[in-house]
Structure 1
Amino acid sequence: MASVDKRGWRLFSDLNNAFRRDPEIDEFDFIPVLEPKNNRSPVVLVDHKLGLELWCVKILFQYAYHTLMGWRSKKSYKFMEPQELAVLARAVVLVNPECYTAWNIRKELIELGDVSEMEDLRLSALVLTRHPKSSETFVHRRWVLGRFIENHLQSSQGSTHSTGSGHDGFVSMEAIDLNLGAAQNQQPVQNGEVALNVAAGSDYHSQMKIEIDVCRCAAEKYPCNYYAWSQRIWLIQHCYNCSTRVILSELQCTESWVEKHISDTCGFHYRQFLLNTLHAQRDQLRDQFSMQYVSLLQKEHKFVQELICTYPGHEAMWNHRKYVFHSLHNLYCSECKNEDVDNECNLKKTRLEYDQHLLEQKEIDCVQRNELKSKDASQKKLSQNYIDWIQRSVIK
């Protein structure tokens, strides 16, 4: 501790005072000031936005980190109150969120009841405004959400027994009646900022809406953010139990997102996850929503085709088109082999409607008439690669 800059304690105190003055801080970043130019605090707080001047970041981190690790390794025998440990860990993860020891200390404090789940959800969302691709932050957030869901289930059921699934630490959501309308009626995120106001934190659907917003904002701040989209998939699987209504809503709302981020492969991969999940639920899709899975695929095929024509030369869209066409082709093949048809006339109609060879030829002709004639060299190359892929990998 002797090597730690003596200004660290003062900076740490200023940071804690900022959180006391404004508990609704919703954004955090570093200010590019490389050296102190006046006698003011480098901790800046304006309109719920927190900033640290860059020259003080290392000093603050070293003080908080060495103090916390000294306590953790028992080298420091000074007794620390739980709240003191919590603010030390907070200072560490704000600067370096990949320090999993600091997150683990906060987990222990949550289990002891010294820190609430809602407080850590707010903190991790704040950290992601500065470090949107922090894997440890998303891992910690999943753990906290697991406890939040567990507590919500227990309170809604009026029981005291665990509702955990006993499977990878995830929580079974079968006991929750999903009402998407409650989540959709919330106010949208404005100016790309995370909605950190959790006044209705005990409400399950409002919190899930916040979680989707956190993932969306992280994806906005860092292109091809694998961790943000993986977190969104996790939410659909474990917080919404792959609800068909939620998946259809996600498929609709992410359409405008991928239109604005045409080279983001993670956004297209997320839509592929949604379509794969709907394929597994196609009977429910037909019976409860009067929708055909093949219609969704055809709509997606038209959507990506229009994107490719509008924004030529982007490989991510062509890869997504491969996925959609391959899914359509497999579906046509399975429908033609379906023996559960009323009569021979219907069988002939089904085979004509789902003729995979006709589908292959129409797709090749479409590319040759449009994209292959593009003046853009990248578009022409991608078009030819796509045709080669169909002839090599799809046509048998």
Structure 2
Amino acid sequence: MQEDVFPAAEKILSDIENVLKKDPNLVSFEIIPAEDNKNKSPVFHDENSLGLASWSVQPLFSYAYNRLLDLRQNKHRREDSGTVSKWLLGVLLLNPDISTFWNMKRELVKSGRLDPMQELGFASIVLYYKSKCFEAFAYRRWLVKFILMESTHSVNVDSILRNEFKVAAMAADRYANNCHAWSHREYALGLFETLAPEDLNPLLQTEWEESSNWCNRHVSDYSGFAYRQFLLKKLLLYRRNREEGAPSPERVAKSRELVFKFAKAGTRGCNDVFLLFDGSSDQVLDLMHDSENEKRVSDYEQCLINLSYWAEECMLNEDLIISFPGHEALWCHRRFLAYSLLALQTSYKKYSYYKSENFDPCQGIRPRIEINRSRTVDSASVSKGLLELAFRNHNHDVIALAKKSGNHQHSLAEKFIKYLKFIDLEL
């Protein structure tokens, strides 16, 4: 059979197109191992799932690919947009890594010949089959932006963006270390922050809980922890708008309890520990960061809530390292938490709240080194806040257990110790 000659190609492509139109709730696509059967269609559709018999894949792809390539190279040739759409459907469903054909789809969407909402559905089917396809994610981002910014469709921003979180979660579940899926999730959250800032905080809470559950089930997948780091920065830097009311006493009490649960490891010999129970939010924060700055106009209750996320993540990370020894992703995540501690201390001492500039890797480590070098006393006598003391004691316990858990875990602990020395954070 010649590569561009396949008599049944148009019929098969039409069958696939009809399934996509008939079933808007289609969720999956798979290649089904099957021998050639001339009396039966290679297209299968059952329970919101689409399948294609394996014998038809190569000739169908070659047919559609050669037709599209010929069309692309012959600029004077005119072809019906419906036919071009079918060819694109066949090619991209089977091999979605060809950016030229996604660009042809963009042209059809912009000219009004393809429905962008239906294209979102098609892209999700592609990502079910090829879950780490960068081109498919890039097309989805373009579609979302087109629908929200340029399309004449009446759309619900919340519904559109929350669907992107679902698609990203599906792709991350189907392909390990899927950085493209988590990057897409970050993009969706960024759009949500821009277009619906009033609903950002509830979304951050939801994402924080869902990503925690996901990472607990995938302790070797650093991509998920990288997304947790992205969320943690958002939560640490979150500042309430004027329209938002004060946090409830229950919420503040829960945050204080989380911070105390983490910090009690550093309270040995501390004379002001009673402030953790009876002190105001600003007194607790000053004790945590060893800060004696003059009070500035700052939302200390919100700052305490923000800090509780860091404390919660440290305790979760410690539990995972102990429960699942030998996973480098967990130790790399702990490095981020160590670096974040320096950023938190530097920022709070300077502004009485957390500011994004101190999370810049080029600035976050340097201030701590300069502070220590400017002192006339040795590092052993430098006063430290409860936050740093507690983190040091937690690290001591984790590392001691790691050294008893085998050579690999011991090696990971040694690398972590070297990192702590590099950022000038005592063990």
TM-score, with structure 2 as normaliser: 0.71
Q: Equivalent residue for 2:329?
A: 316
Q: Deviations over 1:173-228 (max 9, x none)?
A: xxxxxxxxxxxxxxxxxxxxxxxxxxxxx322222221110000000111111111
- For structure 1, which runs of at least 5 residues remain unmatched after alignment? 157-201, 341-350
Whether contact under 8 Å (1:110, 1:116) holds in the other structure is yes
Misfit runs of 4+, over 6 Å: none
Indicate the larger mover: 68-77 or 311-320: 68-77
Task: Give the structure 1 partner of residue 210 of structure 2.
Answer: 253
Per-residue deviation, 1:86: 1.5
Letter of the 2:226 partner, please give it.
Answer: H
Q: Deviations over 1:291-344 (max 9, x none)?
A: 42222111110011111111111000111111112212332344456689xxxx
1:129-278 → structure 2 map (5 Å cutoff): 129-151=128-150, 202-241=155-194, 243-278=200-235
Q: Secondary structure at the match of 2:326?
A: coil
Q: Which residue of 1 aligns with 2:417?
A: 387
Counterparts of 2:235 and 2:192, CA distance in 1:
17
Alignment match, 1:159: none
Aligned-residue sequence identity (percent) comes to 29
Which residue identity lines up with residue 297 of structure 1 in the other structure? W
SS in structure 2 of the partner of residue 121 of structure 1: helix
Cα shift at 1:394: 2.8
Which TM-score applies when normalising by structure 1? Answer: 0.76
Measure the CA separation in 1 of the matches of 2:57 and 2:106: 24
Structure 1 residues 340-384: Cα deviation after superposition (integer angstroms, max 9, x where no partner): 9xxxxxxxxxx977256634642442224433333x332222223
Kept in 1, the 8 Å contact 2:24–2:121? The answer is no
Over the aligned positions, Cα root-mean-square deviation in angstroms equals: 2.9
Highest relative contact order (Cα 8 Å, sep 6+), 1 or 2?
2
The AA in structure 2 aligned to 1:380 is H
- Structure 1 equivalent of residue 342 of structure 2: 329
SS of 2:423's equivalent? helix
- Structure-2 change in CA distance of 1:378 and 1:51 (3 Å): same
Structure 1 residue matching 2:57: 3-state secondary structure: helix
- 1:347-362 matched pairs, under 5 angstroms: 354-355=385-386, 358-359=389-390, 361-362=392-393
Q: 1:93, 1:127 within 8 Å by CA — same for their partners in 2?
A: yes
> 1:144-181: per-residue Cα shift (whole Å, max 9, x none)?
101111157x888xxxxxxxxxxxxxxxxxxxxxxxxx
**SS of 1:29 mapped into structure 2:** strand
- Paired position in structure 1 for 2:32: 31
Please give the alpha-carbon distance, in whole angstroms, between the structure 2 residues aligned to 1:387 and 1:370. 14
Distance of 2:327 and 2:49 partners within structure 1: 36
CA distance in 1, matches of 2:101, 2:88: 5
Change (3 A) 1:17 1:364: closer
How many residue pairs align between the two structures? 337
Partners in 2 of 1:15 and 1:67 — Cα distance? Answer: 18
